[in-house]
Structure 1
Amino acid sequence: MDSHSRFLDEISGKSINFLIGSGASAGVIPTLWIKPLNKSFEDLLTSSYYTEDQRDVLYFIWFNIWIRKTLILEEDDSNREVIKDYTKFISNLVAVLNNEGFDKPKRINIFTTNYDTFFELSFDKIAQRNRLTYFNDGSRGFLNKYISSDNYYINASHSGMSDSFQRNIPTINLLKMHGSVTWIKKEENISVSLNNEVFEEVIKKADEIDTSKVPFFSEDTIIENFSTKDKDSYSEDDLKKHIDDLISTEETKIKAFKAAYNKLSVVNPTKVKFNETVFEQHYYQMLRLLSHELERKNSILIVFGFSFADEHILEIVRRSIVNPHLKTYIIGYDEAAKKQIKDRLEVITSIDFLPNGGNKIDGYEVLGNFNFLNSLLNGRGDKT
C-alpha cells in the first residue's frame, strides 16, 4: 500500500477539518511574503517602524495587490487553473465522504482565512453534478442571506420520494475565518451578497489615488516590487521614502480610501484586526468552532497553504496538537515553508509534515502544492 492510500485509510471515519490559507490561491492572488524585504506583509502592518499615515498607504498597497482581486465571479484565462485545482479538491472531498459508511461522519469542515470566492465558485460547479451534497457557507435566507455560526451544525439527509429510507448526505462546511469580499455588515448582522457596494466604494477610492508621480506604486510595477523582485533589491528605508512621497501629493485621497476600507468585512493582518464589533464577535465564534472541532475524539486537521501568521489560530493549533485524539497533517510548499511553520508552532512531535523531505521525482523536490494535496485525496501518487 503506497503512502497516498495509507493517508486515505488514516482519515477515513474521522472528523476531518481543513485549515487553508493564501497559498491555495497563489496562482491568482500573490502570497503575503515580501521577497525583497524577507518579511510578510503582516510584519509590515504590525511594525512600529511606520506611522499611522504611512500605514494607511500600506493598506492601500494591501488592497490593490491582494483584496481587490479576490471577488472572482467567473472563470477566465487568468484564474482557470486555480479554479480547476479548487474544483478537483472539492470533488475529492465529496468522494471521500461518499465512501464513508452509514455510521461514519459525513461532514468536512473547511476553515479558511482567504477572502476570495474560489470555494463558492467550485461549490457551484460541483453542485450541478452532485445534487446529493450539501455545501454550507453558514448563510441562510433567500433575497437576503445572513451568516450565523449556528448554521454550521445542520445535518442534511435524503429520504427519497417514497420516504422508505433516510440517509445522511455529504456536507461540506465553509468557515471563512477572516471574512469575505461578499460580506457586508448590516446593523448587527453580516449579510452575503455578490453585489457588495462597500467593496465597490473601496475600489473607487483606491482608483482616485494618483500614483503616477511615485512610479514605485504604479499599477504595472507594484506587484513586481512586492512579490517578484529579488531579495535586497530595496530596503524598508527605501519603502518608507516612497510612501512619504505618495503621502505628500495624495494625503487627502489616501485618508478617504482608508475610511472606505474600514467598512470592509475582512480581518486585517494585524494584532488590531477589527473596526466593527459585530465582525469581531463573528471572528471569535469561528475560533471557538475551530477549537471545538480540534478537541473532538478522532479528529483530523489538514493544513494547506497556511503560514500560521494569525496568532489566534496559531495558539489554538498549538494547544490542540497535544490532544492524543487529534491527528495533524501539515502540507508545506517546500522545506523552507515547513521550517517556518515548525518555528512558529514549536511543538511538532505529533505532526506529520508532507511531502516527506526525501520525496523526489526525477531528482526534484516534491512540492506541497494543490497537485500534491489532490493526489493524497484521490489516493494516487500522481498529479491528476
Structure 2
Amino acid sequence: MNSDKFLKDIQGKNVNFLIGSGASFGVIPTLWIKSLDKSFEELLTSDDYTEEQKKVLYFIWFELWISKTKILEFDDENETHIQYERFVNNLIDFLNNEGFDKPKRINIFTSNYDTLFEMIFDKVSKDNRLTYFNDGSRGFFKKYMSTENYHLKVSHSGMSDSFQREIPTINLLKIHGSVTWSNNNGVIEVNKKNKIFDKLIKCSNDIKENIRLANIFDDEKLIKLLEYEDTILNGQINEEELKLELTDIYEESTDEINKFFTKYQTLPVVNPTKQKFKDTVFQQHYYQLLRMLSFELEKPDSVLIVFGFSFADEHILEIVRRSIVNPKLKIYVIAFDNDAKSVIEGRLGNLGGNIIEYLPSKNLPDGSQVYGNFTYLNSLFDGKVEENN
C-alpha cells in the first residue's frame, strides 16, 4: 500500500492508534531473552522460579526496562526519538488537512509507560500552538488524571471574528499506566518528579552496590553488574545458571531486595505477568480506558492502526476481537516481519474478512522483506513509499 491510498482510506474517519513496546525499541529493549528463547513475561509467570527468585527478576525488570522509561530530554542522535517526533508532526499535518466538517481528533492508546510521547508533545507544542495535546490530566502546579478530560472539543476564534474553528487534538491514553503517575488521596496525580520511581531507583542502586561488593573479585558470574543488558538479553546464560545467580543475588541482598519489591508493588504500571493493578484507583482508570477503546471502535467509520503491539494483553485482544462485528471498522496491523505477523494472526484469529489488513503487504522487487518499523509507519503519513506496489 502506498501513502496516497492509505491517507485517502483514513481521511474523515475516527482514527485511533494502538501502540506497543515495539515503538520504543532503540530506547527501551524488547522483553525477549535470546539465549533462553523466552520472554521476560514467561519467566515472571513460570512456576519453575521461587518467590525469592521472582523478586530478583522484578529488580532486573526494573533495572533493564522500567528505569529507562522516564525520558525527559530529546536526543537528536537517537533514531527512535527522531521517529517519534516525525510521527507526531505527521499526525498534526494530517489533522490540519482535514476539512472543517471532519473530526480533528486522533486517539493514541498505548500500553507503554515511558514518557516519549509526552516529551515529544512538549518539544513540538511551541511551534504548534493551535494543536491540543491531551494526556487526560488537568491542573497547573499539580495535575490530576480523569477520563472525563478526554471528551473535549477545543475550538479557536480570531481576535477580529467570532467564527469557531476546531483545532487538532491528539489524545494520549496510557492503558498500562505510567512512570509519572501516583495515587494522591484517591486521585491519579501526574508528575515527572514521581517519588515512588525515585525511591525505586535508590533501592535499585543499593542492590547493585551490594552485588558489586560481593562480586568485586569474581569474574565467573554470568550476570555482570555493568553489563546487565548483554548478559541477560544477549548472553549465553541458561535457566539453571540464571536460577543459581538469582538465588545468589537474593542471599547477598535479602533486605534490600525485599524493600525494593515492597515499594515496587506500589508503582502504577501493569506488569508483564497479565496481572493488573492492585490499587483500586488505578484499576478503575484502567478499565475506564479499556471501555473508551471499545467505545471508539464501535463508532461508525472508525480506523484502528496497530503498531509495535503483539496483542499479548488479553483484555485488549478481546476488545479488538469483539469490535470486528462493526462493519464500518477498518483495522490496519503493522507487523514488523512475517514472524510477528504470524503471532498476531494466531491471536486475532481468522476474523474480520476485509476489516483487517496487514501491512507491509508486499516485498521489495528483490524479494526481501519490508520491515514494519517506525520508518515504515511514518512513510504511510509523509508520502514516502517504502514498499513495492
TM-score by length of 2: 0.93
Look up the match of 1:352: 357
Q: Is the 8 A contact 2:224 2:231 kept in 1?
A: no
Q: Is the 8 A contact 1:34 1:227 kept in 2?
A: yes
Look up the match of 1:378: 382
One-letter identity of the residue aligned with 1:157: S
- Structure 2: unaligned runs, 5 residues or longer: 216-220
SS of the residue 1:309 aligns to: coil
Task: Calculate percent identity across the aligned residue pairs.
Answer: 56
The answer as to 2:70 corresponding to 1:64 is no
Look up the match of 1:109: 107
Q: Is the 8 A contact 2:360 2:372 kept in 1?
A: yes
One-letter identity of the residue aligned with 1:351: I
One-letter identity of the residue aligned with 1:189: V
Look up the match of 2:148: 150
Look up the match of 1:211: 211
Give 1:363 deviation, angstroms.
Answer: 4.7
> How do residues 167-316 of structure 1 correspond to structure 2 at under 5 angstroms?
167-209=165-207, 210-212=210-212, 213=214, 215-229=221-235, 233-316=236-319
Give 1:81 deviation, angstroms.
Answer: 2.1
- The count of residues paired between Structure 1 and Structure 2 equals 377
- Provide the C-alpha distance between the structure 2 equivalents of 1:118 and 1:361, rounded to a whole number of angstroms: 35
Cα gap change, 1:256 to 1:217, in 2 (>3 Å): farther
SS of the residue 1:338 aligns to: helix
- Provide the C-alpha distance between the structure 1 equivalents of 2:62 and 2:359, rounded to a whole number of angstroms: 32
Q: 2:342 aligns with which of 339, 357, 376?
A: 339
- Provide the C-alpha distance between the structure 1 equivalents of 2:306 and 2:232, rounded to a whole number of angstroms: 25
Give 1:163 deviation, angstroms.
Answer: 3.7
Cα gap change, 1:187 to 1:218, in 2 (>3 Å): farther
Look up the match of 1:14: 13
- Provide the C-alpha distance between the structure 2 equivalents of 1:274 and 1:159, rounded to a whole number of angstroms: 42
Look up the match of 2:80: 82
Cα offsets for 1:315-338 (capped at 9, x unmatched): 111111232111001111111111
Q: 1:129 aligns with which of 108, 127, 130?
A: 127
One-letter identity of the residue aligned with 1:255: N
SS of the residue 2:253 aligns to: helix
Cα gap change, 1:50 to 1:273, in 2 (>3 Å): farther
Give 1:76 deviation, angstroms.
Answer: 3.5
Q: Is the 8 A contact 1:54 1:244 kept in 2?
A: yes
Give 1:45 deviation, angstroms.
Answer: 1.5
The answer as to 2:39 corresponding to 1:40 is yes
Q: Is the 8 A contact 1:111 1:174 kept in 2?
A: yes
One-letter identity of the residue aligned with 1:223: E
Cα offsets for 1:92-131 (capped at 9, x unmatched): 0011111111111110000011111110111112211111
Cα offsets for 1:9-49 (capped at 9, x unmatched): 00111000000111111011001122222222222212222
SS of the residue 2:12 aligns to: coil
- Structure 1: unaligned runs, 5 residues or longer: none
Q: Is the 8 A contact 1:23 1:306 kept in 2?
A: yes
Q: Is the 8 A contact 1:42 1:309 kept in 2?
A: no
- Provide the C-alpha distance between the structure 2 equivalents of 1:249 and 1:298, rounded to a whole number of angstroms: 58
One-letter identity of the residue aligned with 1:211: I
One-letter identity of the residue aligned with 2:144: Y
Q: 1:324 aligns with which of 308, 324, 327?
A: 327
Q: Is the 8 A contact 2:75 2:81 kept in 1?
A: no
- Provide the C-alpha distance between the structure 1 equivalents of 2:365 and 2:145, rounded to a whole number of angstroms: 44
SS of the residue 2:130 aligns to: coil
Q: Is the 8 A contact 2:114 2:178 kept in 1?
A: yes
- Provide the C-alpha distance between the structure 2 equivalents of 1:265 and 1:361, rounded to a whole number of angstroms: 47
Q: Is the 8 A contact 2:211 2:252 kept in 1?
A: no
Q: Is the 8 A contact 1:178 1:267 kept in 2?
A: yes
- Provide the C-alpha distance between the structure 2 equivalents of 1:367 and 1:361, rounded to a whole number of angstroms: 14
* Farther-moved stretch of structure 1 (140-149 vs 207-216): 207-216
Cα offsets for 1:69-106 (capped at 9, x unmatched): 111111237x6322111010001001111111111111
Q: 2:373 aligns with which of 345, 369, 375?
A: 369
Q: How large is the Cα RMSD of the aligned pairs?
A: 1.7
- Provide the C-alpha distance between the structure 2 equivalents of 1:301 and 1:331, rounded to a whole number of angstroms: 11
Give 1:382 deviation, angstroms.
Answer: 4.6
Q: Is the 8 A contact 2:303 2:329 kept in 1?
A: yes
